[in-house]
Amino acid sequence: MAAPTSPPLLGSADDPLPFAIDRSSAVPYHDQIYRLLLDEIVSGRLTPGEKLLQEKQYAVRLGVSLAPVRQAFLALAKNGYLNRTRGRGTFVSEPKVASKIHLLTSFTATLGETGLPVSMRVLEAGTRPADDVAATALDVPAGAEVFRLRRVAFLGAEPVALLTAVLPAARFPGLAEEDLDTSLYGVLERRHGAVMTSARNIIEVVRALPDHASHLQVPVGEALLQVEAVTRDQHDKPVELSEVLYRADRFRFEIESHRGDGGVRHSTARPAQDPASAPSPNPGSAP
């Protein structure tokens, strides 16, 4: 197998590994291998995008059968640490977006807190008649004009989310002429005095349709995290019906609840590599 493209941690296939199995431990070999490789990833000694040795090479060099190595690889891939690509090999996954999800914070602004370059590409920005779903959510008559905004969010050069927002056009005239590759919430507050104060979010796993797959650069049928929300302003008027499709390999949401306080206090999207990382964007909010 070819050596990693980045400066290789493990060197050639004949070099010793920087870790070893503890044969006196009661911990099963596959668990040990999982933890040893996880430590290499979390510590940064194995970096995102770095190619690992083949499973059989680990087995030979650790002095174990292929089965526990394969089991460890599968578990690491399932938990988001490794990316297994047929015909290419196994690579360390890019870190999942990490930052605390403050309710109703601009998606664009909170992604920026990760320190990674953030950009938006507008796919659609225009008016259309409201269907029954939009009319009910936004409390407008069926067929009333609504503004539909569809964008792709990028971290660096990688697309990570597909965002659709529908707003009552009569309340927010001129949106099509605004700079919409930045924060939508910023535009609504700055130009129209609308401050987002509450939202009802529904989160579920869906499969990527061909259109989603094309924009997010994932295979058709890939699992995506879908967050649908109706967002209300400081006057408790519905402002936005939104749908955000997140690449599941780049986001993970954790929800903290407190009994007796009326519901969720906050949610957190943490990277697989670093459970103590800083916080992430509000899942239900468009930027």
β-sheet bridge partners, residue 129 = 145
State pLDDT tens for residues 111-143. Answer: 666 666 888 999 999 999 999 999 999 999 999
- Flag residues of the chain having pLDDT under 70: 1-15, 95-116, 254-287
Please state the pTM of the whole predicted model.
0.61
- The 10 Å Cβ neighbour count of residue 14 is 7
The reported pLDDT for the residue numbered 70 is: 93
Sequence-ordered alpha helix ranges (H) in the chain: 29-43, 55-62, 66-78, 107-112, 132-138, 184-192, 210-216
